[in-house]
A and B are shown apart, each in its own frame.
Chain A
Amino acid sequence: MTVRFTLNGVPVSIESSGSRRLLDVLREDLGKTGTKEGCGEGECGACSVLIDGDVVDSCLVAVGQVEGRNVLTVEGLAAPNGELSRLQQAFIEYGAAQCGICTPGMLLAAHVLLQRTTRPSVDSVREGLAGNLCRCTGYTKIIEAVLSCVT
């Protein structure tokens, strides 16, 4: 079937079985390998993407489900000219990324958190990132980076 959706602000149309995982379509058909597979069962958050602004594990979504919807991956977080967002810069500055494999998902979860909460507390940041596992940082530097973006 043909599936049409918006990916990082650009309309895309792909031919695929509707039951394929969105994760695989993004990585294999559309070259968006910034979205990672960590567990394939919705536990780790490495494959997080935003669908209409909600954080979703793309390993649990069939591509047919995103017909007509807005999908944002980590590749869509920077400005079109490549300039990193404030959050991405904060991740670098605060040492919030070590091995980097959880970073795309973590950035998207943090992005939504900052959009939805004007003054998040430490606890609400922890809660907002609880679906995204990181094994390198102990989360401390990630939380600091997110809080640094609160104006």
Chain B
Amino acid sequence: MKDKQFDNIFKDKLNSYSSPVPADMWERIAQDKRKKRPVAFWFTNTAYGLYALISILLITGGAFVWKHSDNNISNSIATNSSITNNNNSNANNHISKNSTKDNSTIKESNNNVVSSGVNSNPDKEISTSPKIESAENNNTIIESESKKAVVSEKVSSKKSIHNKTTLLLVKQPQIIGSKVASKSSNIADNQNSTISYKADAGNIVVEENTENIETKPLSELALVKSDRIKLALAKLNAAFKKPNHFDCPGDKNRQDRNWYLEVYGSPEYNFKSVTSNGTSSNYLQKKDSAETMLMGFNFGVRLMKNIFSNVYLKTGVQYSQYNEQFSIQRENEHITTTVIINKVINLPQGDTTISDTSTLTQVGYKYTKTVNQYRNIEIPVILSWRNEKVDNLWNWSLSGGVIINAYSWNNGSTIDTSLGIVSINSKGSNTYTSAIGVSLMAAASIERKLTDRWAIFTEPYFRYGLSNSIKSKFGFEQKFNSLGISLGVRLKLGNRQQY
């Protein structure tokens, strides 16, 4: 109920709302139409295809009329249509063809370009801009009284204000169809006759004002029919093909077709977990006391693409480096140095000098400090839900995914089980073997637009190592977890959107 009430508020407020149409709207529409290919009956959009279709229809229609020439013709056009013959105020036949779905009806406003109003003076030419004139008669169909077009619509209670806006956009290409149809109809009718329709995928309403059809020659009648068939096909095209959209803020159906390039870097706090694989706890304790994780970092580049709704897929390549201070001090280390001693000894016979090699032993502690570096080339595969609004400077998103450790290499030192210092360098040492590790990553991101194409973002994240990325021959395995905050920039590649 609340939803309906809410919708009703907007419906009431916007029911007769008209918004200005940009001056270049028609050009854009025409340009877009040239680009777009209808899903069905595409051949009608080309001149040759159209002529072929008309020819076929003329032939078949002529044959049909010829065969049924004795009968009064009661025209019906379009499927699923109800036909009502009414006499209008000028005693003209009025054929109204309504096709409705979802209980939606479309009302025409006074400013509607596609007006179903009947020209009260058939001999009078109404010249408006844009004006389409027929070379075959003096009658001119009313295209519009102004370039401003408003289509108001009563929508169902489930429609939102976005639907309203969308509707306007959806109807624009159909105006073209209407124009074509109107033009064709104008050609066919010597009398004042206008055809209007409004349609979208869910609702097609055609209103036609036809006068004195019975009085038309057979050839003209066939032409009218062909126009109507073409009109129906155009409407079907309009119904089948995906709607064309322009960049419209807040359109929930908008799908961002752009690729984005993100370049980012992050300091991160790393912590590792070591699991014994047969080694003694004493050794692990010594190792743990000798190694302290330092700040690490990563940086990378990734591409981002909208896959559906607000969900984006991000992937790329990144370099990460975990730093670890290895510091060990071993007490009671003995260093024995061979020295040459020279002694002058006072003997009763006189001083004598002896020279001999001897040793000097020094005892102290040896210290070794180094920064172990665990370096990785990784492939992040991340799904991101973005709460992005085109007109917002600030947006946010939530991300999660996996980071695959594609390649790793290390350098530094550690202790072996005898507490001696050994190298962990990937080259020349088999102390550590790197395994392909997989990490889970979760992040929240805040981004700010700088320009239409550029944005900066910050992304705190947590990364949990699922598998052990390093296996040691000393009987332990270790994996890393990270907590960091990325800073980066995002560049929109191209400017494509699809609705």
A associates with B: no
Binding site for A on B (CB under 8 A): none
Binding site for B on A (CB under 8 A): none
